């Protein structure tokens, strides 16, 4: 077994100063809690009068859906400065591709229907017809209003992303697009989008740029030898082993036992929790809300 990377795990050491700073796996119930924990670990904190520095860490999550969501946002940025309906059709095709990926990971009739419906909507736009489904109609309405962007990649990205939040059926894609920062490619994305604006006066082919940058970062991340503090969901921990495991239960999400979907004795949740606990070689910490 390789030697673990020696790091300072500030939150854990604050509770147990004798803990050896070895390879630590912090783990929680869902990806949204992982995102929040990543934000917490990236900031300075004070605990019992002691200053705690940010903790360097890696994040393991479902990157493909996040990248597909980001490509949708990039395609919406392409709308600014043009009324070409092919760009709206392109956005609808990318939404269809998002659901195609989702269906490949976890097959469902709903996702299958979305793939077909958004592809049909994309074809309808090219033919000059009105899409049949509500979400595509709402997206067409936003396209026709025009999207005012100013050449600020961060602000313009948020404006484009917010369109997905406004349309209830596309909120899932909006939420996944918010995970893009986990790729740690914000500088490359910002620089690339700025170059597109300077060269064209608009974000021409922004969706292609987004896909290339995030695919490159995804490949780099997949080839990394993760050491030190690692964040992931319980599902992602299967088959892995760590020196120590910190199990984190969220206050409003990511609970160990899902009372909405399961009844006592919570057999499925207990099996998943057992998987997480048994990932540890020497130490397990459980942080539970009371």
Q: Give a three-class secondary structure readout of 146-212.
A: CCCCCCCHHHHHHHHHHHHHHCHHHHHHHHHHHHHHHHCCHHHHHHHHHHHHHHHCCCCCHHHHHHH
16 falls within a domain:
yes
180 in the same domain as 140: yes
> Bridge partners of 46?
51
Higher-confidence residue of 276 and 9: namely 276
User: Does residue 34 contact residue 61 with C-beta atoms inside 8 Å?
Assistant: yes
Pick the last residue of a domain from 223, 255, 278. 223
210 in the same domain as 113: yes
Whole-number pLDDT of residue 56: 85
Label residue 266 by pLDDT band (50, 70, 90).
Answer: confident
Task: Report which DSSP code applies to 263.
Answer: -
1 falls within a domain:
no
DSSP per residue, 56-75:
-EEE---HHHHHHHHHHHHH
87 in the same domain as 159: yes
CATH number of the domain where residue 246 is located = 3.40.50.300
Give the integer Cα–Cα distance in Å for 81 and 86: 13
Pick the last residue of a domain from 223, 246, 271. 223
195 in the same domain as 71: yes
248 in the same domain as 169: no
Give the integer Cα–Cα distance in Å for 4 and 264: 39
Higher-confidence residue of 267 and 35: namely 267
Does residue 265 have a cis bond before it (omega within 30 degrees)? yes
Whole-number pLDDT of residue 287: 86
121 falls within a domain:
yes
Higher-confidence residue of 206 and 287: namely 206
2 falls within a domain:
no
Going by C-alpha positions, the residue among 168, 167, 149, 174 that lies closest to residue 159 is 149
184 in the same domain as 69: yes
Label residue 249 by pLDDT band (50, 70, 90).
Answer: confident
Give the integer Cα–Cα distance in Å for 226 and 40: 19
pLDDT in tens, 179-201: 887 777 888 999 999 999 999 99
Pairing of strands 50-52, 45-47: antiparallel
Whole-number pLDDT of residue 5: 31
Whole-number pLDDT of residue 127: 96
1-10, 72-81, 118-127, 267-276 — which is least confidently predicted? 1-10
Number of structural domains the chain divides into: 2
Whole-number pLDDT of residue 163: 95
Does residue 220 carry a pLDDT above 80? Answer: no
Task: Report which DSSP code applies to 229.
Answer: E
Label residue 265 by pLDDT band (50, 70, 90).
Answer: confident
pLDDT in tens, 142-151: 999 999 999 9
Whole-number pLDDT of residue 13: 31
- Give mean pLDDT, residues 155-164: 96
Place of tokens 């899932």: 172
Does residue 3 carry a pLDDT above 70? Answer: no
Whole-number pLDDT of residue 253: 67
Label residue 115 by pLDDT band (50, 70, 90).
Answer: very high
131 in the same domain as 99: yes
Domain that holds residue 132: 63-223
Task: Report which DSSP code applies to 8.
Answer: -
Does residue 7 carry a pLDDT above 80? Answer: no
For the chain, helix (H) and strand (E) counts, in that order, are 11, 7
pLDDT in tens, 73-103: 999 999 999 999 999 999 999 999 999 998 8
Does residue 110 carry a pLDDT above 70? Answer: yes
Tokens representing 38? 């990543």
Tokens representing 76? 């919406």
Does residue 42 carry a pLDDT above 80? Answer: yes
């Amino acid at each position: 077994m390789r030697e673990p990377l020696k790091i300072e795990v500030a939150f854990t050491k604050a509770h147990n100063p004798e803990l050896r700073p070895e390879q630590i796996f912090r783990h929680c119930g869902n990806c949204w809690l992982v995102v929040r924990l990543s934000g917490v670990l990236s900031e300075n904190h004070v605990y019992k009068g002691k200053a705690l520095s940010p903790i360097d860490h890696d994040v393991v999550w479902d990157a493909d859906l996040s990248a597909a969501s980001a490509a949708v946002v990039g395609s919406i940025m392409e709308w600014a400065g043009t009324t070409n309906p092919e760009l709206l059709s392109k956005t609808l095709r990318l939404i269809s591709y998002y659901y195609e990926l989702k269906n490949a990971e976890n097959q469902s009739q709903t996702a299958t229907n979305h793939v077909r419906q958004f592809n049909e909507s994309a074809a309808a736009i090219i033919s000059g017809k009105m899409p049949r489904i509500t979400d595509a109609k709402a997206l067409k309405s936003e396209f026709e209003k025009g999207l005012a962007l100013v050449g600020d990649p961060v602000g313009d990205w948020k404006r484009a992303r917010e369109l997905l939040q406004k349309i209830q059926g596309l909120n899932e894609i909006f939420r996944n697009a918010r995970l893009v920062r986990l790729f740690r490619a914000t500088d490359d994305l910002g620089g690339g989008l700025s170059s597109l604006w300077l060269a064209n006066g608009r974000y021409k082919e922004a969706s292609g740029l987004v896909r290339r940058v995030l695919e490159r970062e995804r490949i780099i991340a997949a080839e990394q030898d993760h050491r030190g503090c690692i964040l992931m969901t319980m599902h992602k921990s299967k088959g892995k082993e760590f020196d120590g495991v910190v199990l984190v239960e969220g206050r409003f999400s990511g609970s160990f036992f899902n009372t909405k979907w399961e009844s006592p004795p919570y057999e499925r949740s207990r099996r998943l929790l057992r998987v997480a606990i048994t990932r540890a070689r020497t130490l397990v910490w459980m942080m539970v809300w009371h």
